[in-house]
Structure 1
Amino acid sequence: MSKGPWLDDDEQKAWRSYLLMNRTLETHLERHLQRDFGLSKSDFEILVNLSESESGRMRAFELGRATQWEKSRLSHHLTRMEKRGLIRKEACDSRYPEIAITEEGLTAIKECAPVHAARVREFFVDVFGPDRLAVLGEVADEIVGTIGKHCDTDCPLEARS
């Protein structure tokens, strides 16, 4: 499907529009999280993952896989969140600690998630509408699948665990 080494004008416009939309949307949503709830996008991502797990806890390596963060970034961020009382690191049998959401973390996610969801709906879901949103979901899944296949076969950048 490759046409040549460069994107044509339509491809370039679509790609740059996507990048601008993604950056603008993420920045705006994060500023609301920070201003209204004192949470960063990273805090929110960790709290969402923990709150959606059955027990409110995950092994650190599972959080790393879910967030696609490097070990050092995850470790530093979890330490900061623990100091703020949002999560708790618990020793377990494996070399990776178990990370548990605290009552304070659960309260934070319960307060901010509905407001965050309303903003996502306003700035993203409602703009797309149901038909285009369904297509976007399908395309996003295809892109993630394509990258997954690439990483599984010929991409030395990804250390698959």
Structure 2
Amino acid sequence: MPSPPRADDAHPYLRAATAGVRHHTHALGRSALPEPADRSHLDVLHAHLTALLRLVDQLAGAARPPHPGAGRHLASAHTRLWQATAAVHDAFHLLPSTAADSSDCRPESLPEGPPFMTICQRHLATGHIVRRKTTPTDLDRPPHITACLR
């Protein structure tokens, strides 16, 4: 008789992505003089945040009918993730561009042609999803503080 699956085996892709982020954070923290963030780091971080945002959105939708309280908390997490994603996108445009990452919202000007999806295209596509489910007031609201019930 096969053993029941472990809880952490339910989403191996999420566990692998989290391990990748932890590894990158640990590698950056080990250097004596950490290098400042560059556009490529922020682009990858933005891609990770938008993927996480979509996952939280799906989980909130699934949790809302049977567990409305949990659904509301996940919806709040979705809003906060969008705010973090928007801040990373804004920071991306404040950094100077190099020849390797000079898309700057003009992918047609790249010598190798436009990439599959630039940070701005990804941000706009995700923004449409967020704005269909979230009001502008919710997006501007500061995060709430909750106490752990346990």
If the TM-score is normalised by the length of the shorter chain, which range does it land in? under 0.3
Which structure: greater strand fraction?
A: 1
TM-score, L = length of structure 1? 0.26
Higher relative CO (Cα under 8 Å, sequence separation at least 6) belongs to 2
TM-score, L = length of structure 2? 0.27
Which structure: greater helix fraction?
A: 1
